Chains A and B, each alone.
Chain A
Amino acid sequence: QKEVEQNSGPLSVPEGAIASLNCTYSDRGSQSFFWYRQYSGKSPELIMSIYSNGDKEDGRFTAQLNKASQYVSLLIRDSQPSDSATYLCAVKRFFSGNQFYFGTGTSLTVIP
């Protein structure tokens, strides 16, 4: 079982719609959760971090965490073509030798 799992996609949404990206993790001891955006050929860029159950909003982005169900999601409202990228979910376990575990990413395409 992988530490972090994401649907690879591709996920396509029309411009202006809500894009929903999901991630599940295997270790209940995980404490910190992150979403990164990676454009093709570029390095990952931190979008959101979330540590507590519930929702966290930042502009058009909302991260949701449910530790009981071991999933974290990212909602992108009013999707723009510039949001087209691969979105990586990253999880930090409480005792993990200081490493972050990344999923394989979900490819999102926003259609104009």
Chain B
Amino acid sequence: ETGVTQSPTHLIKTRGQQVTLRCSSQSGHNTVSWYQQALGQGPQFIFQYYREEENGRGNFPPRFSGLQFPNYSSELNVNALELDDSALYLCASSRTPPGQGAFDYGYTFGSGTRLTVV
């Protein structure tokens, strides 16, 4: 059983640029969520995708967007990068969309992409 894989592992971008981060979900998982974790903070929910559609969104501006593909892999795109976007970006997959069942199984996180905006 393969885990959640993310690429790239590290990235340095200039303010104003655009970035795309990629994630392959764990085998058997059909839901992908993206989180932003700033240094010393807990992960903050960006959005979730289920069946190729956005299925929930946190308090992030529209310049954060995403996609999910038929094989359940996903992309996170961030436009007009700002210095505060520097963080660890975590992709998390799960077997069922949280909220769709009586209980939630919890996430399996990928190793993350460390984004630095200069």
Interface residues of chain A, those whose CB is within 8 Å of chain B, are: 4, 31-32, 34, 36, 42-46, 49, 51, 88, 90, 92, 95-105
Contacts and interface: CB of A to CB of B under 8 A. Distances in A.
A51 B43 CA distance: 21
Contacts of B40: 104
A80 B110 CA distance: 25
Given A88-B43, A92-B104, A45 B109 contact: yes
Chain B interface mostly helix, strand, loop or mixed?
A: loop
A43 B112 contact: yes
Interface string B35-68: 1000011111100100000011110000000000
A8 to B, nearest CB: 8
Interface of B: 33, 35, 40-45, 48, 55-58, 88, 90, 97-99, 103-112
A98 B98 contact: yes
A46 B104 contact: no
Nearest to A3: B42
Contact of A49 (B55, B57, B105, B109): B105
B107 A104 contact: no
Contact of B42 (A32, A51, A98, A103): A103
Contacts of A105: 42
Contacts of B104: 31-32, 49, 92, 100
4 closest A-B pairs by CB: A98-B56, A102-B42, A99-B45, A97-B56
Nearest to B56: A98
A23 B52 CA distance: 34
Nearest to A44: B109
A43 B111 contact: yes
17 contacts: A32-B98, A36-B109, A42-B112, A43-B90, A44-B109, A49-B103, A51-B103, A88-B43, A95-B99, A97-B56, A98-B33, A98-B48, A98-B98, A99-B48, A100-B104, A100-B107, A103-B42
Interface centre among A46, A51, A99, A102 (most CB of B within 10 A): A99
A103 B40 CA distance: 11
A98 B99 contact: yes
